[in-house]
Structures are given as structure tokens and as C-alpha cells.
């Protein structure tokens, strides 16, 4: 079972003047208790508290607070905007609350977020044989995007002609076939290598990668790929097995950043876009949160 906190619930409230009751509410929250984790039933830590002042002689501004559970990774945020009128009295207030939602995924779920899957397989690589075939294609897409530093496109369909992914380098298309085998002892046979070679030639592609969760390719498969290069049918025909794939995944692996940190980054971008002052931090941003 894989746990994920990337999904959130959001509630927006608007208050007029100094009223304690909102005149507008949009959205609902399953947990309305601030600074509390409903999963571990414990208090959460205030990990961020920043203020962005309004460019106004009357004062006001935006306050962003974020709490996080150091046990399970649950987080919640409160973003409060206040503004004052010419009489120096409170004119109104907006409140945006976000709470993360705990989601459970089986390893073979087609709905599991790929970033979550990547992080999970980093520590449990042998479970790759249970990943859904489509998720495997999207996993390779994500890893190759980072490794080749370019956009990789998914085209795996029943009528894809043997091509699951493609990307472009130096104005040349590069095609990728992905095979998720169900057992680690599987040897990738030569016929799949020949079939993909035929698909490449029909599409006039000169470079291709065949990615398989099999731990090895047959001798005939290696010979076929090498012969295709020697005869000039293709420039590159690279066979990537289980071991090589995880070498690439580990090479481009990014530390698992808590979703609330990404929320702060996005908000900094918003503040900069509005040409306002940077946050005046009341609490330091925790660099290595437990999640």
C-alpha cells in the first residue's frame, strides 16, 4: 500500500468588515481543526509563517501559515488576506484553507501519481513487476524526461504501431518501446526486438530505446540490435533492462519534497509576480521535514 498526500481539499471564506461570520463560503473541509493531524490524532508543527504587506497607507496584507505532521506528512495551510479602508478600520478579509488528503494506492493502480510511484520504487525496486503496464510507460516517460532533459510524449495505445513514447533530439525523432514483465526471471526474447525494429523502420526513425523490466535480453536479442546498427538500418538501438533502468532512475532521482514546500514556492512566484515585498519570515523554513 502506497500513501500519498499530494491531493488537497480547499475552502474559501470571505468576511465583511470585522464580522466573525463569513458572508461567503466555497468548499468544505473534512478536518476543520487548525494545527491538528486527523490521521495521527496529534498536534502538528507550524513550519512556515510568512507575511506579505499590501502597498497601501492603510495597512493590511497576506499571511500564509503552514502546519505539518512530523509523523505521517499530513499538512494544512491558512492564507489570510486583510485590507483596511480610509478610516483605518478593517474593510474585509479573505481566507483560503488547504488541507492535504491521505490517499491509498495499490502498486498496480493506474491512478497512482507517477512522482509518488518513482519515490516508492526507489526503495522497493522489485515491486516494479506489479506496476500496471500503462503506469510503467508513464514512469519511463517521467524518468527519460529528466535524463534526456527534454519533453517525452506518451503515445501508447492499442494502435500505436509498437511505439509507446517518443522525443526529439537534434531534430531527430527517437522512439521508445516499454515492456513491463511480471516476473524478474523473464528473458526478453529476440522477436520483440525485431518487432520494434520494424516499427522504427516504418516510421523512418534512426534511434530507439527498448526498455524492459526483464533482468536480461537474450543473446539473439543483443545480436539483432547490434546487426541493425551495423547494417545501417538504425543509428542507435539501445536495450535497457531492469538494472540499467534503475541506474538511470537513481541517477535522476530527486529527493521527495513535501507538497507543502511546492505550495510555498508557487506562492513566492505569485508574490514576485505582484511586485510585492518578499515574505518577512517569523519562523525559519524547516529544511529537512519528516514526511
Residue 14, pLDDT > 90, answer no
Question: pLDDT digits over 108-117, tens only?
Answer: 898 888 988 9
- Look at 154 and 50; give whichever has higher pLDDT: 154
Query: What average pLDDT score do residues 250-276 get?
Result: 75
pLDDT digits (tens, 9 = 90+) for 198-211: 999 988 889 999 99
Domain annotation for the chain: domains and CATH numbers: 2-104+258-273 (no CATH), 106-251 (3.40.1350.10)
Mean pLDDT of 259-263: 83
Per-position DSSP letters for the chain, written without gaps between them: -EEE---EEEEEEEEETT-SS-SEEE---S---TTEETTTTEE-EEEEEEEEE-SSTT-EEEEEEEEE-TTT--EEEEEEEEEE-TTSSEEEEEEEEEEE--EEE-TT-TTS-HHHHHHHHHH-GGGGGGS-HHHHHHHHHHHHHHHHTS--EE--STTSTT--EEEEETTEEEEEEEE--SSTT-EE-HHHHHHHHHHHHHTT-SEEEEEESSSEE-HHHHHHHHHHHHTTS-SEEEEE-HHHHHHHHHHT------HHHHHHHHHHHHHHHTTPPPP--SSPPPSS---
Does position 277 have pLDDT exceeding 60, yes or no? no
Is pLDDT of 102 > 50?
yes
pLDDT at 278: 43
Reported as a single tens digit per residue, the pLDDT across 177-223 is 999 999 888 899 999 999 999 999 988 889 999 999 999 999 999 99
Higher per-residue confidence, 95 vs 208: 208
Amino acid at each position: 500500500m502506497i500513501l500519498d498526500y499530494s491531493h488537497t481539499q480547499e475552502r474559501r471564506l470571505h468576511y465583511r468588515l470585522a464580522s466573525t461570520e463569513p458572508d461567503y463560503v466555497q468548499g468544505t473541509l473534512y478536518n476543520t481543526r487548525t494545527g491538528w493531524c486527523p490521521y495521527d490524532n496529534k498536534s502538528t508543527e507550524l513550519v512556515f509563517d510568512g507575511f506579505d504587506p499590501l502597498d497601501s497607507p492603510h495597512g493590511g496584507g497576506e499571511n500564509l501559515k503552514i502546519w505539518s505532521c512530523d509523523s505521517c506528512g499530513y499538512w494544512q495551510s491558512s492564507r489570510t488576506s486583510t485590507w483596511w479602508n480610509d478610516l483605518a478600520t478593517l474593510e474585509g478579509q479573505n481566507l483560503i484553507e488547504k488541507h492535504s488528503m491521505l490517499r491509498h494506492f495499490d502498486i498496480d493502480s493506474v491512478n497512482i501519481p507517477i512522482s509518488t510511484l518513482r519515490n516508492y520504487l526507489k526503495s522497493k525496486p522489485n515491486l516494479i513487476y506489479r506496476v500496471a503496464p500503462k503506469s510503467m510507460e508513464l514512469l519511463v516517460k517521467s524518468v527519460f524526461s529528466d535524463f534526456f532533459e527534454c519533453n517525452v510524449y506518451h503515445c501508447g495505445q492499442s494502435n500505436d504501431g509498437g511505439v509507446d513514447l517518443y522525443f526529439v533530439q537534434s531534430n531527430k525523432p527517437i522512439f521508445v518501446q516499454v515492456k513491463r514483465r511480471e516476473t524478474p526471471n523473464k528473458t526478453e526474447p529476440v522477436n520483440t526486438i525485431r518487432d520494434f525494429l520494424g516499427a522504427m523502420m516504418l516510421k523512418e526513425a534512426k534511434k530507439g530505446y527498448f526498455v524492459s523490466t526483464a533482468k536480461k535480453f537474450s543473446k539473439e536479442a543483443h545480436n539483432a540490435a547490434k546487426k541493425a546498427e551495423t547494417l545501417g538500418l538504425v543509428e542507435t538501438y539501445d536495450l535497457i533492462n531492469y538494472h540499467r533502468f534503475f541506474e538511470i532512475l537513481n541517477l535522476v532521482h530527486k529527493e521527495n519534497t513535501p507538497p507543502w514546500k511546492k505550495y510555498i514556492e508557487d506562492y513566492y512566484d505569485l508574490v514576485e509576480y505582484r511586485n510585492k515585498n518578499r515574505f518577512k519570515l517569523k519562523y525559519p523554513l524547516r529544511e529537512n521535514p519528516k514526511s
